[in-house]
Amino acid sequence: MIRHIVLFTWTEEATDAQKVAVTEALSELPGLIPQIRAYTVGSDAGINQGNSEYAVVADFDSVEDYIVYRDHPDHQAIIAARIKPIVATRAAVQLSL
Amino acid sequence: MIRHIVLFTWTEEATDAQKVAVTEALSELPGLIPQIRAYTVGSDAGINQGNSEYAVVADFDSVEDYIVYRDHPDHQAIIAARIKPIVATRAAVQLSL
């Protein structure tokens, strides 16, 4: 299994509506990309100080399936229209489990 | 459910032995802390450029169970002895799912 993990912080100018729109858009991807086995996205729960603001954890059966997701036009469209305009920092790891 | 996610990069001075020791130590925690429901740790798979180097994804039934893990002496001992000496950057999010 490949577990794809991304953490974001948003720019100070990012609005609540823009942040909500990221979750709304990403939440459609499991219905559009059948290679996604599990998909959890959302904003930090506010338990700890100093955290990043947003996380994506996506599971795939194989590297090939992850790459289908990574490069999928519907995913890339969300990155371009919803994420890139408000990203301050991005950190990612893919685990091979 | 609470999903706790951490991404690390290591210092340039960190040795392979020190990096392996992190996984060996963390992998013991599910046997020591029964509040852990699922636990995946490991080094980046090397699929993409520019990634962080290490990830922890831990699932808990509740915020309270996550806090037991966060503050558990066995966990804190690993952070102090194995992780802090080689950490360059850390990013974390807790998702409430």
Query: How would you write the pLDDT of chain B (97 residues) with one tens digit per residue?
Result: 999 999 999 999 999 999 999 999 999 999 999 999 999 999 999 999 999 999 999 999 999 999 999 999 999 999 999 999 999 999 999 999 9
Cβ contact (<8 Å) for A94 and B7?
A: no
Amino acid identity for residue A52 in this structure: S
Burial class of residue B34 in the structure, from the number of CB atoms within 10 Å of its CB (0-12 exposed, 13-18 middle, 19+ buried): exposed
- Give yes or no for A38 touching B (CB within 8 A): no
B3: Cα separation from own chain's centroid: 12
Rounded Cα distance, B23 and B38, in Å: 15
Rounded Cα distance, A33 and A41, in Å: 15
Tokens of B57: 């994804």
Please state, for a pLDDT cut of 90, what percent of chain A lies above it.
Answer: 100
Tell me, what's the ipTM?
Answer: 0.96
Task: Give pLDDT, residue B35.
Answer: 98
Cβ contact (<8 Å) for B7 and A3?
A: no
pLDDT digits (tens, 9 = 90+) for A42-65: 999 999 999 999 999 999 999 999
Rounded Cα distance, A52 and B76, in Å: 21
- Give yes or no for B69 touching A (CB within 8 A): no
Which of B40, B55, B94 shows the shortest C-beta gap to A45? B94
Tokens of B82: 């194995």
- Domains in chain B (CATH in brackets) are 2-96 (3.30.70.100)
